[in-house]
């Protein structure tokens, strides 16, 4: 949001000794984040009034002309392509060195062989409108050589670019007057109050005793918190004064006409959105604010048809809807050139319902942004009178018809909070007295009443514009004192309270253990992928569950329009990205997936996904061995083995294309199928353009996130005697799962055989595959003799050969 310092100075003085950048820094420290400082209209000091004296065709271009003109210091010539150029016209001329708002600085330039020094400008090139059909034509009485800033009676303004996210809790800061209140408090300046009660009383006298041409009726079920309106006759629609146009343009709004511009101007000034009807379009002379009970198609001011559903609040006349309450007016009720009578509306709405309708329609407007913050109903009347004041300035012949009408008024209730000097200083670590605290709060228009029975205590009445949702308890008041006093003035002191370690929840502890293991033992990197995916990625991954019921309304991107049913598609996508840059990689993700559920709408699942990639070899055994170690480290009773064909794995679609026919195992935890490990099928690799060997494991941890895992680790001393490691390679049918070979080796019953795992697998074309097993023998009571080691190795080979796995010669 743009804030004009020129506008702010209508209400308070700014410190002249500080630069705009220093003002912005101070405001960031105390109130809200200033993202940048801009200077508007500086270029208008360089642009001058020129009069065209001659036009000749360009010798090398049919659509260009050589235009001669004078500016008061001699005749000049530029190349110009504007279709409306004519001798005698007065137009703006930007000389060489001028930096225009469209983003470039003018330099001498040859255009088709002719030197052009400067430019005759259109409105949009000067940032004064959207017109680009030709040159901006100035009035005949414009003085030659006069700067455009003088001609337009505008001055250079400084704009602060406010980060909207930093004021979402401050509805009072969405207008210049509210911002001026903050500037006055922060810089210890006086705040002018032109819109006080006496001012309103003066304007109230303009009402007549005639019946109002428009009556108002607010339905209790609607989202309306109060609706006010005033009728005005004898208005003339014309351009708004230049000073108003300049301020609107500076704040990012396009001037339209005096009536529409006044509506927008007051919204930017007081922070209260409003609407001005062409009164002739209010059928039946009645405004009815109601909750829609039927579906309806409605065309808004931007000429877009919107689908209105039951539950949306609409402002209607006797025959149908005219405005989407709190969001945008209708095309049919807008002010037009021939409008002569108007109806000024100011209303307030339930924030949550405005946000809901706005989000569903995909329609965020300046109005809805403000109403979503919970505005103050008490400010509606002030808004009506401010609009009337400006209408009368623009149209002196205008007259109020009838009196101010209102209905459904739910005023912001008064809120008082007890506060004490002791409480403020204990929280802030300051030594402020009650008088200083009172002064800070009163500068923000809080009313402070000191309690005589308790020195240092006070009763604070919160102004209604801060009482909607912003200020609720004494801690909020202490924050106000702290920021106006200056956070930079607070002396940092270490907390004196006793600090104890936080006991981690079971789910946090489980995740922490997995992360530590994967990083330190698995040498893998953790990734975070986006939990939203698109139908295109699911189709690419051959994932049949499309989560049609978990699609976002008004998704910004079709590639992230639904909650993902599994981590697998996301992991494949990230694997494809990484393989372009690395010959091998390892990564994992502890993420969430979502499944449709009839009872609970969606079921959230916590999953661990692991990916190993190598361009040169299959890392299947590396990942398998790592998984076994990880489950042992987590004390989980796990079995990794061949799938049970009668019980499909619930974590995979049936007949999934990515499942490898030979290198695939199910993971069963505590007797329940909770994961899988698989080399990714070449056809799936081809779908993601992955060149190399990809292995993936997926484990569903949901059932173990909330129940602490019993630590059944049995500790024993480190072995005093060395062990012996033995590798042997046996031959097996290419279709034989490695798990069967491990199972065969484990039939050797020896207490000295303490570890057995697959070290490598090699599968040559049209030959038996070679599987290398690694066995470790250890006796904790003595050193193994060479004779025993030889006997143990022979028994292992004999056991394997009896099961049909001969030793490779």
Distance CA 658, CA 695 (A): 10
Q: Is position 470 annotated in a ligand binding site?
A: yes
Torsion over CA of 386, 392, 398 and 400, rounded to 10 degrees? 30
* Tokens found for residue 509: 């502890």
Burial class of residue 4, CB neighbours in 10 A (0-12, 13-18, 19+): buried
Report the phi/psi class of residue 3: left, alpha or beta, with left for phi > 0 and alpha for psi in -120 to 50: beta
264 and 285 Cβ atoms separated by less than 8 Å:
no
For the chain, the residue count is 809
Q: Is position 317 annotated in a ligand binding site?
A: no
Burial class of residue 24, CB neighbours in 10 A (0-12, 13-18, 19+): buried
Beta strands in 574-670 (DSSP E): 584-597, 601-614, 638-641, 659-669
Distance CA 417, CA 338 (A): 52
Q: How far apart are the first and last CA of the chain?
A: 79
In sequence order, the 6+-apart residues with CB closer than 8 A to the CB of 130 are: 123, 124, 254
Distance CA 476, CA 471 (A): 6
Helices then strands, counting H and E runs in the chain, come out as: 21, 36
What is the bridge-based pairing of β-strands 286-291 and 215-218? parallel
Q: Is position 476 annotated in a ligand binding site?
A: yes
Distance CA 308, CA 321 (A): 10
Q: Is position 733 annotated in a ligand binding site?
A: no
Report phi then psi at 166, rounded to 5: -85, -5
In sequence order, the 6+-apart residues with CB closer than 8 A to the CB of 256 are: none
Residue 534's Cβ-side half-sphere holds a number of Cα atoms within 13 Å equal to 9
691 and 615 Cβ atoms separated by less than 8 Å:
yes
Residue with tokens 């995979």: 652
The b-or-e profile of 339-353 (16+ CB within 10 A means b, else e) is bebbbbbbbbbbbeb
* Tokens found for residue 687: 């779908």
113 and 60 Cβ atoms separated by less than 8 Å:
yes
Distance CA 241, CA 227 (A): 29
Distance CA 317, CA 286 (A): 5
Q: Is 94 helix (H, G, I), strand (E, B) or coil?
A: strand
CA 217 to chain centre: 37
Burial class of residue 522, CB neighbours in 10 A (0-12, 13-18, 19+): buried
Residue with tokens 């609706």: 227
Rg (CA), the chain: 38
Per residue, what are the HEC states of 722-773? CCEEEEEEEEECCCCCHHHHHHHHCCCCCCCEEEEEEEEEECCCCCCEEEEE
Per residue, what are the HEC states of 656-671? CCCEEEEEEEEEEECC
Distance CA 342, CA 320 (A): 19
CA 702 to chain centre: 29
Distance CA 180, CA 438 (A): 20
81 and 65 Cβ atoms separated by less than 8 Å:
yes
Q: Is 450 helix (H, G, I), strand (E, B) or coil?
A: strand
Which residues are documented as binding site for Mg(2+)? Answer: 470, 476, 479-480
Which residues are documented as binding site? Answer: 470, 476, 479-480
């Amino acid at each position: 949001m743009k804030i004009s310092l020129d506008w702010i100075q209508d209400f308070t003085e700014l410190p002249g000794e500080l630069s705009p950048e220093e003002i912005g820094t101070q405001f960031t420290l105390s109130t809200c984040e200033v993202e940048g400082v801009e200077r508007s209209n500086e270029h208008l000091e360089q642009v001058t009034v020129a009069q065209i004296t001659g036009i000749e065709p360009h010798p090398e271009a049919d659509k260009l002309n050589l235009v001669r003109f004078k500016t008061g210091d001699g005749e000049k010539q530029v190349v110009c392509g504007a279709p409306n150029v004519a001798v005698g016209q007065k137009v703006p001329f930007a000389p060489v060195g001028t930096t225009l708002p469209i983003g470039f600085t003018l330099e001498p330039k040859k255009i088709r062989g002719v030197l052009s020094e400067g430019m005759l400008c259109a409105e949009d090139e000067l940032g004064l409108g959207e017109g680009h059909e030709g040159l901006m034509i100035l009035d005949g009485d414009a003085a030659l050589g006069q700067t455009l800033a003088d001609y337009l009676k505008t001055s250079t303004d400084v704009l602060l670019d406010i980060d909207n996210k930093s004021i979402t809790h401050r509805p009072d800061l969405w207008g210049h007057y509210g911002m001026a209140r903050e500037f006055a408090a922060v810089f210890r300046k006086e705040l002018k109050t032109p819109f006080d009660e006496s001012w309103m009383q003066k304007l109230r006298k303009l009402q007549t005793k005639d019946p109002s041409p428009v009556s108002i009726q607010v339905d209790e079920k609607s989202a309306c918190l109060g609706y006010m309106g005033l009728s005005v006759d004898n208005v003339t629609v014309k351009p708004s004064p230049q000073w108003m146009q300049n301020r609107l343009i500076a704040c990012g709004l396009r001037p339209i006409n005096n009536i529409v511009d006044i509506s927008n101007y007051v919204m930017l000034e007081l922070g209260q959105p409003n609407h001005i009807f062409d009164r002739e379009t209010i059928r039946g002379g009645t405004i009815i604010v109601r909750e829609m009970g039927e579906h309806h198609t409605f065309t808004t001011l931007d000429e877009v048809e919107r689908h209105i559903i039951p539950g949306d609040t609409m402002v209607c006349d006797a025959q149908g809807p005219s405005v989407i309450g709190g969001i945008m007016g209708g095309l049919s009720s807008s002010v037009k050139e021939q409008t002569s009578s108007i109806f000024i509306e100011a209303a307030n709405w339930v924030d949550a319902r405005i946000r809901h309708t706005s989000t569903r329609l995909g329609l965020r407007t300046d109005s809805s942004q403000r109403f979503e913050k919970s505005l103050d109903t008490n400010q509606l009347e002030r808004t009506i009178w401010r609009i009337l004041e400006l209408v009368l300035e623009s149209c002196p012949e205008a007259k109020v018809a009838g009196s101010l009408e209102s209905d459904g008024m739910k005023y912001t209730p008064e809120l008082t909070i007890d506060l004490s000097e002791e409480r403020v200083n204990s929280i802030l670590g300051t030594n402020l007295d009650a008088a200083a605290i009172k002064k800070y709060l009163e500068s923000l228009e809080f009313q402070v009443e000191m309690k005589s029975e308790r020195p240092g205590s006070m009763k604070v009445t919160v102004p209604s514009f801060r009482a909607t949702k912003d200020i609720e308890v004494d801690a909020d008041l202490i924050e106000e004192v702290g920021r106006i006093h200056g956070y930079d003035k607070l002396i940092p002191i270490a907390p004196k309270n006793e600090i104890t370690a936080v006991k981690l929840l079971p789910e946090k502890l489980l995740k922490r253990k997995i992360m530590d293991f994967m990083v330190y033992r698995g040498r893998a990197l953790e990734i975070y992928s986006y939990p939203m995916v698109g139908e295109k990625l699911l189709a690419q991954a051959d994932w049949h569950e499309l989560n049609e019921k978990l699609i976002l309304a008004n998704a910004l991107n079709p590639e992230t329009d639904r909650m993902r049913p599994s981590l697998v598609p996301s992991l494949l996508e990230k694997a494809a990205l990484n393989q372009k840059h690395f010959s091998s990689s390892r990564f994992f993700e502890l993420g969430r997936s979502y499944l449709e559920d009839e009872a609970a709408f969606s079921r959230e699942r916590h999953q661990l996904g692991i990916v190993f990639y190598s361009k040169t070899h299959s890392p299947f055994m590396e990942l398998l061995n790592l998984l076994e170690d990880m489950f042992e480290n987590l004390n989980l009773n796990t079995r990794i083995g061949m799938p049970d064909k009668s019980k499909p794995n619930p974590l995979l679609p049936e007949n999934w294309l990515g499942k490898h026919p030979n290198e695939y195992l199910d993971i069963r935890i505590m007797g329940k199928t909770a994961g899988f490990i698989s080399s990714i099928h070449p056809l799936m690799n081809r779908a993601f353009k992955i060149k190399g060997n990809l292995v993936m494991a997926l484990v569903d941890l949901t059932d173990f996130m909330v129940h602490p895992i019993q630590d059944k680790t049995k500790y024993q001393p480190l072995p005093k005697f060395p062990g012996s490691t033995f590798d042997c390679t046996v031959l097996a049918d290419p279709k034989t799962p490695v798990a069967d070979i491990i199972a065969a080796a484990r039939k050797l019953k020896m207490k000295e055989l303490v570890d057995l795992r697959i070290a490598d697998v090699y599968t040559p074309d049209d030959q038996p595959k070679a599987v290398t097993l690694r066995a470790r023998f250890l006796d904790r009571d003595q050193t193994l003799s060479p004779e025993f080691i030889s006997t143990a190795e022979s028994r292992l080979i004999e056991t394997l050969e009896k099961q049909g796995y001969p030793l490779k010669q």
